[in-house]
């Protein structure tokens, strides 16, 4: 992503698909559930940390027909070719996060800190997720000291 454009999205009434049901999928799904968005999850298997009753589970391998009407697609299978295929088959109006290859993604997540009316978003534009995590911890500590 050469020219990132940061925005805040309201996902109410949007259709979100998560493809894959492993560790990374669980993180993305749980952050969606935290904002009361229930995604469709396409995966033959689901990690235990994914609450089955809160999602719509399609227990199958990825097929284009499952994501045809989706607005946002998060590709997190452990098969890089499948993730790539999801990107290639998406229409120009669908936004795709290929979690295994930032250069194929047209969006990805920022780390966030939310406190009362404040939302801080942090990103290295994919360059160093570990650094984001570290700076987030430092900022949280600093913010706590201000209160």
Ligand X SMILES: C[C@@]1(CC(=O)O)c2cc3[nH]c(cc4nc(cc5[nH]c(cc(n2)[C@H]1CCC(=O)O)[C@@](C)(CC(=O)O)[C@@H]5CCC(=O)O)C(CC(=O)O)=C4CCC(=O)O)c(CCC(=O)O)c3CC(=O)O
Ligand Y SMILES: NC(=O)C1=CN([C@@H]2O[C@H](COP(=O)(O)OP(=O)(O)OC[C@H]3O[C@@H](n4cnc5c(N)ncnc54)[C@H](O)[C@@H]3O)[C@@H](O)[C@H]2O)C=CC1
Total chain residues near ligand X (CB under 6 A): 20
Q: Which of 30, 59, 106, 124 binds ligand X (CB under 6 A)?
A: 124
> Which residue, 11, 12, 16, 13, is CA-closest to 69?
16
- Neighbour count for residue 62 (Cβ, 10 Å): 23
Cβ distance to ligand Y smaller for residue 115 or 134: 134
User: Which positions ≥6 away from 57 have C-beta within 8 Å?
Assistant: 40, 41, 43, 46
Tell me which residues touch ligand Y (CB under 6 A): 19-25, 42-45, 61-62, 76-79, 82, 99-100, 129
In angstroms, what is the minimal distance from the CB of 34 to ligand Y? 17
Q: How far is CA 127 from CA 28, 121, 131, in A?
A: 19, 15, 9
Cβ distance to ligand Y smaller for residue 40 or 100: 100
Q: Which of 14, 56, 64, 133 binds ligand X (CB under 6 A)?
A: 133
40 touches, from ligand Y, ligand X, none (C-beta below 5 to 8 Å by class): none
> Which residue, 33, 83, 32, is CA-closest to 61?
83
Looking at 54-62, 63-71, 102-110, 139-147, which segment touches ligand X (CB under 6 A)? 102-110
Please answer whether residues 37 and 28 qualify as being in contact, where contact means their C-beta atoms are separated by less than 8 angstroms: no
31 touches, from ligand Y, ligand X, none (C-beta below 5 to 8 Å by class): ligand X
Please answer whether residues 39 and 29 qualify as being in contact, where contact means their C-beta atoms are separated by less than 8 angstroms: yes
């Amino acid at each position: 992503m050469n020219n990132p454009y940061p925005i805040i999205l309201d996902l109410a009434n949007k259709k979100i698909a998560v493809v894959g049901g492993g560790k990374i999928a669980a993180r993305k799904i749980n952050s969606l559930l935290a904002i009361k968005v229930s995604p469709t999850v396409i995966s033959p298997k689901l990690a235990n940390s994914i609450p089955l009753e809160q999602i719509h589970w399609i227990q199958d391998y990825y097929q284009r027909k499952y994501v045809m009407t989706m607005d946002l697609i998060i590709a997190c299978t452990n098969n890089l070719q499948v993730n790539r295929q999801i990107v290639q088959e998406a229409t120009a109006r669908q936004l795709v996060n290929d979690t295994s290859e930032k250069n194929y993604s047209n969006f990805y997540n920022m780390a966030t800190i939310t406190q009362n009316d404040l939302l801080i978003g942090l990103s290295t534009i994919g360059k160093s997720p570990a650094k984001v995590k570290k700076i987030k911890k430092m900022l949280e500590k600093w913010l706590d000291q201000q209160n």
